Amino acid sequence: MPATNHDALNWREIAQVLAIGVKVQRRRARGRSVKALEKQADRIIARAEARENARRTK
């Protein structure tokens, strides 16, 4: 069940994406690559959107 009516993420996924965002900022500050972390966040968001779209079409 989504956390709000405006997005597809539930509270667990929001927490995961937020934690990944914190890691991204920390790695950017140190000049390291963030590509894998950004990909991971995108996968979480895409999975949530697909789940909610499938639920709406029923």
The sign of the dihedral angle between the CA atoms of 54, 12, 17, 20 is negative
| pTM over 0.95, yes/no | no
The residue to which tokens 């995108």 are assigned: 42
Domain span holding position 27? 11-56
Distance CA 25, CA 41 (A): 13
pLDDT (0 to 100) of residue 32: 97
pLDDT (0 to 100) of residue 6: 76
Specify if 1 maps to a domain: no
At 2, the pLDDT band (50, 70, 90 cuts) reads confident
pLDDT in tens, 5-55: 778 899 999 999 999 999 999 999 999 999 999 999 999 999 999 999 998
51: how many CB neighbours lie within 10 A of its CB?
A: 15
Specify if 15 maps to a domain: yes
Specify if 17 maps to a domain: yes
